[in-house]
Chains A and B, each alone.
Chain A
Amino acid sequence: MNTIVRLGEDLSYNPAMKILVIEDDREAADYLRKALDESGHNAHIASDGEAGLHMAETGDYDVVIVDRMLPRRDGLSVISELRARGNRTSVLILSALGEVDDRVTGLRAGGDDYLTKPYAMSELLARIEVLNRRGGARDAETLYRCGDLELDRLSHTVKRAGKEIVLQPREFRLLEYLMRHAGQVVTRTMLLENVWDYHFDPQTNVIDVHVSRLRGKIEKGFDGPVLHTVRGAGYMLKAA
């Protein structure tokens, strides 16, 4: 029942993205580009804020990854300038500053997501996948479908193969988030942030227990797994 997918093995269907990395640390930038290229994306590097701003404006990127501390123009100012000029490209902020208020200022400047250094590459990949689909049709949809699983956001009902499944409110929100990002890896931290609105890691991995409970409800007695564990990364909802 608990399918394990290895990171990188089963993600080939994800569309390639054109990604700009604005990062002044050469080694970190090269490592990031290599990892992004290996995941099938096309990454470019800018090594200071001014160059980054220029490239972000002219390069038509899907996602921009910005380090907060940059020479010539700091990361937050790059973002606010980009936003001021009407550019809506998704932006992920990378920062060594991880406190809640740092996150808030980052998002207030116009960033779409915030990741604290040091981070796991799987976490970064999962987040940019999700960012790429931001603003797409999914947010406005009222009915999510994944194989024979259906979630109605208006009537708050979940059905699989036409049969209704009763979920607790939190389980519903968990499934809703997973379904909105069906086919994408969703990490535990992303779930904690988006479903529970917590920005800390509990000592014990309580999220796993929630997911396995939800998995029990949507898989037991039905045909085939839909909620997969992606080893070393998180979870993914995907029809067989």
Chain B
Amino acid sequence: MAFVLPSVLRTTAARLSALYLLLFGVCAVVLVFYMTSLSVSLLTTQTMETINEEAASLGRAYQRGGIPLLVRMVGQRSRQPGANLYLIADSHGRILAGNVENLQPGVLETNGWTEVPFRYERYGEGAERTQSQSETLPDARSESLASHDAIALVLRLPNEMIIMVGRDLGEPQRFRDVVRQSLMIALGMMALGGILIWFLVGRRALIRIDNISKAGRRIMGGDLSGRLPVTGAGDEFDRLSENLNAMLARIASLNEGLRQVSDNIAHDLKTPLTRLRNRAEGAIAANADPQEYREALEQTIRESDQLIKTFNAILMISRLEAGYSSEQVVEVDMTATVQDVIELYEPLSEEMDVSLDVSLEKGIAIQGNRELIAQALSNVIDNAIKYATLDGKSSRVRVKLQQGDGNVRLSVSDDGPGIPEATDRERVTERFVRLEKSRSQPGSGLGLSLAKAVMKFHNGTLDLLPENPGLTVLMTFPGR
């Protein structure tokens, strides 16, 4: 607990709850103070109205019966329980009648409403105090007066006598005190609750985060198959864990891909490199004439060019699979792109005695990269022409572009020997996989892998479908 608490305090949940607590607290205080002062001033207004009425009735009594009636009436009213404050004094301020024994000095010198609440002492209350205190100086006396606050209306009669009618302010003050006290208790409870929730939530979050961190460290430590814990609560931590797990799975698959690539590179680049080296070595050893040297060197250059091509293709596939920069994706006119590639291959197919049947739907556009699509299609058509002529018969290749079911489908079919085995059709798009029959054909074994990577980049698919005879390569792009 002692060492958990500081880290609990540092959680986001804790900070947020502290902030909310503070905000709500301030709002509550402001609201309650506003409300109580409003109520107090309302009550004060009522009090003043009461006093006004009282004063008016005393005034009427004076007019009817003069001083005697007034004094009698004041005496009568003073004795009622919860009575107002009444006081009649002579022009020197000496108290003649009423229920007020002591007054804060200066109150009787005002005319009309007292401007601020003043302190007073009811008749009889003074008896509780000692004589010496009551005879101290007026200033000191006012300090020692019992703490009753009141407001009053002070009136002067024509004969310089002073009548004061007042009312104790104890009630509104008590009301205000009660409200403020309950507010303080409420705030205290709120703070307590907030701290409790804060601690519980913060600690829970902390435990979950710690678990995730631990799992993360374990994975970083080398256990790449490890995954972050998912509690099944479906909350934000679970969602985070699930997403991070998906990310880890993607990293693992990329990692696996990378491992495969390096294995394949080692295997497939070493073979031609060895051949290259042997040829150079052979040329030196043969003591050949310049013409033969020249041919050997030219052959060497051709092979290294092929190697560079293979290398570039591998790099490109890796980059595509790693998620090529997406700023290159723009609207591509598929019809025109396909048309261009077909036009590029038309003379070749003519020369190879392959007829190209083309059926392109007009005005098809997708979001993509023209260059990549052209390269993928070029690889596929290249293959189709190559394999359509494998058995020596005159043959044809069909290229079809159509739109439907929200997809754009581009298919290239040949009537060559095809790939009869379903497992072979699966394998052939993997890197460097070349089926036995095609080993004699030129090519790196990367053409279809590259096309597949391009399709994956476009969130599409590449499928190989058997034909009778032949093979269809179907590229499906998601439509817009």
Point out residues on A near B: beta carbons under 8 Å: 98-101, 118, 120, 170, 196, 198-204, 206, 209-210, 213, 232
Whether A120 and B305, one on each chain, are in contact in the complex, defined by CB atoms closer than 8 angstroms, is yes
Of the A-B pairs whose beta carbons lie under 8 Å apart in the complex, a sample of 22, sorted by A's number, is A99-B324, A100-B328, A100-B371, A101-B328, A120-B305, A170-B343, A196-B340, A196-B344, A198-B344, A198-B375, A200-B375, A201-B309, A202-B344, A203-B379, A203-B382, A204-B385, A204-B386, A206-B345, A209-B351, A210-B347, A213-B347, A232-B298
B362 on the A face (CB < 8 A): no
B327 at the interface (CB under 8 A from A): yes
Task: Please state if B347 and A206 are interface contacts (CB–CB under 8 Å).
Answer: yes
Contact residues in B for A118 (Cβ distance below 8 Å): 308
Residue of B309, B347, B443 most packed against chain A (CB within 10 A): B347
Interface centre among B316, B327, B378, B442 (most CB of A within 10 A): B378
> In whole angstroms, how far apart are the Cα atoms of A66 and B404 in the complex?
49
Contact pattern, B 224-258, Cβ under 8 Å of A = 1, otherwise 0: 00000000000000000000000000000000000
Within 8 Å CB of A98, what residues of B? Answer: 312, 315
Of the candidates B298, B319, B379, B442, which one forms a contact with A99 in the assembled complex, judged by CB atoms under 8 Å apart? Answer: B319
Residues of B within 8 A of A99 (CB): 316, 319, 324-325
Whole-angstrom distance between the alpha carbons of A206 and B346 in the complex? 9
Bound-state Cα–Cα, A232 to B444, Å: 21
Q: Is the pair B382, A101 in contact by a Cβ cutoff of 8 Å? A: no
Does B67 count as interface, using CB distance less than 8 angstroms?
A: no
- Indicate if B178 sits at the interface (CB-CB under 8 A): no
Assess whether B343 is in contact with A209, with CB atoms less than 8 Å apart. Answer: no
Give the CA-CA distance A221 to B301 in the complex, in Å.
36
Give the docked Cα–Cα distance between A198 and B369 (Å): 12
- B98 on the interface (CB 8 Å rule)? no
Q: Mark B362-387, 1 if CB is under 8 A from A, else 0.
A: 00000001010011001100100110
Known: A100-B328, A100-B371. A203 touches B443 (CB 8 A): yes
CA distance A203 to B309 in the complex (A): 9
Return the 8 tightest CB-CB contacts between A and B, nearest first.
A209-B347, A200-B375, A203-B382, A209-B348, A206-B348, A213-B347, A202-B378, A101-B325
Judge if B418 is at the interface, Cβ distance under 8 Å.
no
Evaluate contact between B371 and A120: CB separation under 8 angstroms: no
Known A-B contacts A120-B301, A210-B347; A202 and B309 likewise in contact (beta carbons under 8 Å): no
For the complex formed, measure the closest distance between the CB of A200 and the CB atoms of chain B, giving whole angstroms.
4
B416 CB–A CB distance under 8 Å:
no
List of B residues within 8 angstroms of A232 by Cβ: 298, 301
The answer to whether B348 touches A200 (Cβ under 8 A) is no
A169 CA / B125 CA spacing, docked (Å): 120
Bound complex: CA A210 to CA B328 (Å): 29
Residue in A100, A203, A210, A213 whose Cβ sees the most chain B Cβ within 10 Å: A203
Which residues of A have CB within 8 Å of B444?
203
A26 CB to nearest B CB, Å = 22
Name the residue on B nearest A168 (C-beta): B343
Decide yes or no whether B447 CB sits under 8 A from chain A. Answer: yes
> B369 to chain A: which residues have CB within 8 Å?
100
Q: Are A204 and B375 in contact (CB under 8 A)?
A: no
CB-CB nearest in chain A for B351: A209
Across the interface, name the chain B residue whose C-beta is closest to A121.
Answer: B301
